[in-house]
Amino acid sequence: MTPVMLAHETHGSGLPLVLVHAYPLSRAIWRPVAAGLSGAARLVMPDLRGFGASPGGPQPATFSDYGDDLVALLDRLGLARVVLAGVSFGGYIALDLVRRHPGRLAGLVLSNTRATADTPAAAAARAQQATLAETHGAAAVAEQMLPRLLRPDAPDDLRRMVRQIIAANDPAAIAAATRAMAVRPDATGLLGQITVPTLVIGATDDPLIAPADTLALHRAIPDSTLLISRAAGHLSCLEQPAGWCAAVAALLRRVAAG
């Protein structure tokens, strides 16, 4: 399938850091984070296909389409190699680039994500969520997802922001991404082949990715460091942005030092 032209923002200068948002959100999640990183890198923040301001493709997306769109964006921006930071769904896409385009990566951040494929039960739950998006709209998905993304005591303004970002998305794009994730390939066998500096991030209160799974991901990647954010849920980049940004900045320094 022909890649779609992703809407994106860029900020800062220096080593390029591509921030890939979680499902079912958009690049808007990075705006609270950008101030903590714009002095350390050239930030590139795309909307994945169908999310935010990016168009959807003419047909339902396959999982590899999301990675192909990112590579096409790098080509348009003239970026041969980047540090790629993916949260959750964005982490799945980052691992797809490890599989198919490893030469484009100078460093890697895998935040609140996993390498394993969906279990049959997880795939069935995704099918139900895709149907929810198609029948009841993005706002219904937002209500279902919010308890999985943020801690119950997350500030009201943060909960409101995340709810609004999800509700503004195209239900068809949410459904397409949900179905694509359900059939994504297992990436566990790739982890030992990752040779670039890598940061693995998890959170103590993430209901979707247990800290033990994050630790296993870290141990499987040879040149990786680990951050487990305390008092944070699945979107640790938003609930503990200072620690998240500090860890990413440290990785950027490692990459820059060669």
- Write out the DSSP string of 108-147: EEEES--SSPPPHHHHHHHHHHHHHHHHH-HHHHHHHHHH
Vertex 169, ends 23 and 43: CA angle to 5°? 60
247 is in which domain, residue-wise?
8-117+186-257
Dihedrals phi, psi of 69, to nearest 5 degrees = -60, -40
What domain count does the chain have? 1
In a domain, 156, yes or no: no
pLDDT digits (tens, 9 = 90+) for 171-227: 999 999 999 999 999 999 999 999 999 999 999 999 999 999 999 999 999 989 999
pLDDT digits (tens, 9 = 90+) for 76-120: 999 999 999 999 999 999 999 999 999 999 999 999 999 999 999
Return all residues near 206 (Cβ < 8 A) that are at least 6 apart: 112, 214, 232, 233, 234, 236
In a domain, 14, yes or no: yes
In a domain, 167, yes or no: no
In a domain, 40, yes or no: yes
Placement of tokens 């509700």 in the chain? 167
Tokens describing residue 121: 């039960």
In a domain, 178, yes or no: no
In a domain, 160, yes or no: no
The pTM score is 0.97
Residue 84 sits in a domain of what CATH number? 3.40.50.1820
